[in-house]
Every structure is written in structure tokens, then in C-alpha cells.
Chain A
Amino acid sequence: MALDQKTVARVAMLARIKVTEADLPGLATELSGILGWIEQLQAVDTSDVEPMTSVADLTLPMREDVVTVAAQRDAILANGPEANESFFTVPKVVE
């Protein structure tokens, strides 16, 4: 499957990655190459093979329903680019 430049621009927009007009043709070629390789893999008949979700034979570990985290607002807010005493603050996003 070959990706055109328009699709690449759309994927970049959805991923919030800034791509210049000049970079689009190269990216389209690279991504098309990757998809072509996946297509090649998909030609293999796997109808009688269980999907492999892990290389090790593991099952999903579970936690008990217990609160283990104490309030740590300052420590949490310190990680954001902007915050006031209670909230993360971001440029206004409103409908």
C-alpha cells in the first residue's frame, strides 16, 4: 500500500508532529516501504496460529483494590510546564 503525501500530512497532524512540505515526499516513500513490508508478512497464512501477545508465557498481573498513593499535589504539578497552586494550567481550550 503506497501512502500519498496528503495521507502522510494527515497522520502527522493527528500525531501533532510538525512536518514541512519539503519532508513529505521522503516520508511518504519511507512509510510506504514499511507498509509494503507488513503486506508481505500478511501474505503468510496464520489462520491456525494463536496471536502472540508476549514472548514470555505471562498472564496479566492484577493489583488489589487498595489505595497505595497519598496526596502529592505539589510533586505532581511540578511535572507540568505550567501550574498554579491547585491545577495544571494550559492555554484556554474551550468549545
Chain B
Amino acid sequence: MTQLIEGRTGSWEVVIGLEVHAQVISNAKLFSGAPTAFGAEPNEQVSLVDAAMPGMLPVINRVCVEQAVKTGLGLEAEINLVSVFDRKNYFYADLPAGYQISQYQQPIVGKGRLLIDLPDGSQREIGITRLHLEQDAGKSMHDQHPVLSYIDLNRAGIALMEIVSEPDLRSSEEAAAYLKKLRSILRYLGTCDGNMEEGSMRCDANVSVRRPGDPFGTRCEIKNVNSIRYVAQAIDYEARRQIEVIETGGTIDQETRLFDAGRGITRTMRSKEHAHDYRYFPDPDLLPLVLDPAMVARIKAEMPELPDQRRQRYVQEFGLSAYDAGVLVGEKETAVYYETVARGRDPKVAANWVTTDLFGLLNKTGRTIADPPITAEQLGGLLDLIADGTISGKIAKDVFLILAEEGGDARSIVEARGLKQVTDTGAIDAAIDAVLAANADKVAEYRSGKDKLFGFFVGQVMKATGGKANPAALNELLKTRLQG
């Protein structure tokens, strides 16, 4: 499914590869015992290792290594039992050592793959080039003082997984689908919280354009994009920019560009001109990282169900459409909510209520699935009342809104408000009597052949019973009575 962009001189294909930096969920940093919690006071979570004091030696955190392996397995990737840490040398105020400990030629995780979900419900495979472990840098603040930048090293040394995709993506929509899927997998695994706003997941995009079938064009790397929507915007802008440059006779320079979210454009990042000469070399403070195959096997055995497996299970076991299943498994919390509702009930009905009524309510109230106005147990209780005929589907929609507003459980609400469906034929008959008596003229019209009036009588009787009449029973009785 290649999407082409029309230029003035013909069609262009955009080629995208993404580099995602995902902060590892761990208590302590990658090479020190300093904490990783978000939101601490500046420079309160800094060890002497993180501040690169002379003589301090890095000691690797076992859990960070295991998290990288787990993520690698989640991406169906090769796990390299021997990997090597290198120093990536550059100078910046928030990098106290003057180098970042990273992995260059021998990363912990090699080639893997990820399936992106396309709007039509189909999937497409995107190659993963590698995943390596590295240290995060500190944070610089430039807007606090007229002539000074402020440096906070709380983030310095937190473990990052750099996850690199193959240049397999062909549109901004596919790039967004890739990021959504990767974030979903990371959250299912519990290896990264995927929160782009807080910066625990960050994305650089490599973008180039070419004529369909031609070799790859020269690429530009766009940095500093902190939401999925912005990544898509930045790619669209950058592709258009490159096409414009080439079509007016120019050439693309390989360069690093910054995305300016305010203006929706990318621009050259001058300070990076010399930065690509990182002079990597193996870090003499660290021996090669050798993994015990038993450890990898244990992590493999403990892998949770991932979104694609869950989606497949929903389709096969529950008979859901691929689309609905995809919507339900995207966020782990949604899937857990759905399964609680569906347990012991009709899974398709449960899926309808979650994807239409619940999602609609979340949108309207601005709440999230983690903090829903109605719990899965409350919704389940409501569905039980429909299933056993206590209330009609129509009344259930009202009870749903009452539950959202007032809380409580569906059964007590139905009882307290007298919303029970009337299946007692005597009561329905009485309502029919009243309606027929009040509309003698219409009864005559109906009997002389105006069949369409049947709907009118149904409506009137339903109204008379406060919407509580069992629709099937009502239809049956009304038909008999009208036939006179």
C-alpha cells in the first residue's frame, strides 16, 4: 500500500525510518544507584557516577538489561548473548562525562519486526534494525535566565533503549501506526511507560523522498518531536520541503533538522554540523555484557500476551471483527476493561458497549479508560439485566448514563426507579386498551388498510408504559388486538 505524493513533475515516494528512545522502567539508573522517578526537585536524583566525578565507575543494573531483553523478545528479535558498551563522544553541558555510554557495533538486540495496524484492519510488517542500551543525558533549560542555561542531571544516566526501524515506512500515517504499535507493545511488556509528553518516549525521524522504484534519496533526520501527531506533521512537512527543493533543481543535504511545533515546520539545526563524528570506542570501564541463556529463556517463558496475540484471540474466541479487536487491544487498560465486561457474558455485546457507549462517554467527559466514569463491573451488571430480560436495550442506555452520573449498581437503579421491563401481558393489555380507546379514528383507518399506523400504536403503548414494555410481547399483543 504505497502512498505517493504528487509533485509538479510527477509522483514521489516518501521513505521513513524511525529511531525511538524509550526510557526503561526501573527503580535505579543504568549504571548507578540513583532513583529514576519523574518529577523530583532538580539535581536531587544524581549520584557521583551520573555527575561523572573522576574515579567513579559504572556498574550495570541487572533489571535494565532484562528489560532490554524482554523488549527484544517482544519485537521478535535476535538477542545477542554478547554485546559491548562504547563511548559516544560529544560535548554538551548536560552530558557531564563528555561521552554517552552507548552500544555501537554490538548491540544487545539485533534484527526483529513489528506489525503495524492499517486503517482497513490489515497489518504490515516493519523491520526492526536493532535495539541498544544507552544512558540518557541531563536536561538543559534555556528560558530561565538571560545569559545562562540551567542544567538538571536527574535524567542523566537513566537507561534508554534506542529502537531503530528499517526504512520501511512509506507515509506519515504508517509512521504514526508504527509509534502507536511500539508504544502499545512497550506498555504491555511494562518496559517503558510510553509517555511522549513527559519525554519517556522520544522519536527522531529519518525522511527522504525518491521516484517510485529509484534507490533511496538523501535523508534528513528530524529531532525533537514529542507527540505522535507532531511526528506525522513533521514528516509531511519535510517530504513536501524535499520535493520542492529537488523539483526546483536543488539537492538535499544530509543534515539534522529541528521540528518547530509552533510553526509546523522543520529547520536546520546548526550546532549539529560537526556532531556526527562521535569517535566511538569500547568503554574501558565496562567489560562485554555476556547474557546467561537461562536468563533469556526465563524471560521468554514469562512473556505476557502481546497486543497482536490478544487481537487474534478476540477474533478467534470471541468472534469480533479484526477492526473492533484492534481497537480493544491497543491500550492494555482497555483490553483489561473489556475482558472484565465480557467474562461470562456475550463478548460481541460487550465489545459493542465498550467501543460505542463507553468510548463515547469517555470522549464526552474527557476521562480515560484508567479512570472511567463507569467501572467494568458496573457495566457488566448492566449487561446482565439486558441478558435476563429485566430491562430493554433502550432502557439500558438510560441506566448507563445514570450509572455514569450517580454511580451505584444497575440492578438497584432499575429497581429504585421502576425501570423493569414489563413482560406481564395483563399490564401491556391495559395500556393497549387505553391507547386504542383514545385513538378510535386511527384504529378505524388501520383496519381499513393503513398498515403504516402500526408504528404509531407501538410508540403510543410504549410511551404509556414508560418505555418499559417488552418490545416483542407488545408487538405480538398489539397485532392481535388491532386485527379486532
Contact = CB atoms under 8 A, between A and B. Distances in A.
B51 interface: yes
Interface string B43-67: 1111110010100000111111100
Contacts of B53: 79
Contact of B46 (A14, A73, A93): A73
B270 A62 contact: no
Contacts of A91: 147-149
Contacts, number: 127
A53 interface: yes
A60 to B, nearest CB: 4
B62 A62 contact: yes
A92 B147 contact: yes
Contact of B43 (A53, A60, A86, A92): A86
Contacts of A86: 41-43, 150, 152
Q: Report whether over half of chain B's contact residues are helix, strand or loop; otherwise say mixed.
A: loop
A41 interface: no
Interface in A70-89: 71-73, 76-77, 79, 82, 84, 86-89
A64 B149 contact: no
A53 B294 CA distance: 24
B323 to A, nearest CB: 40
B28 A63 contact: yes
A90 B151 contact: yes
Interface stretch (B32-40, B242-250, B312-320): B32-40
B320 to A, nearest CB: 38
Contact of B140 (A64, A71, A84, A93): A93
Q: Which of A16, A77, A79, A87 has the most CB of B within 10 A?
A: A87
Contacts of A95: 258, 269-271
B89 interface: yes
Contacts of A61: 59-60
Contacts of B42: 73, 86-87
A66 B27 contact: yes
A58 interface: yes
Interface string B144-156: 1111111111000
Contacts of B60: 60-63
A93 B43 contact: no
Interface string A12-26: 011110000000000
B197 to A, nearest CB: 21
A58 B287 CA distance: 8
Interface residues of B, number: 55
A59 B270 CA distance: 42
Interface string A30-70: 00000000000000000000000110001111111111110
Contacts of B51: 76, 79
A59 B62 contact: no
Contacts of A73: 41-44, 46
Given A60-B288, A76-B43, A67 B150 contact: no
A69 B41 contact: no
A71 B33 CA distance: 11
B287 A65 contact: no
A65 B288 contact: no
B216 interface: no
A80 to B, nearest CB: 8
A79 B150 CA distance: 15
B27 A93 contact: no
Contacts of B27: 65-67
Interface of A: 13-16, 53-54, 58-69, 71-73, 76-77, 79, 82, 84, 86-95
30 contacts: A14-B277, A14-B279, A60-B287, A60-B288, A60-B289, A60-B290, A62-B59, A62-B61, A62-B62, A63-B33, A63-B59, A65-B26, A66-B27, A67-B35, A69-B34, A69-B45, A71-B44, A73-B43, A76-B43, A79-B51, A86-B41, A86-B42, A86-B152, A87-B151, A87-B152, A88-B153, A90-B93, A91-B147, A95-B269, A95-B271
Q: Which 10 A-B pairs have the closest CB atoms?
A: A68-B33, A65-B63, A87-B150, A71-B44, A88-B151, A94-B142, A69-B47, A60-B287, A62-B62, A69-B34
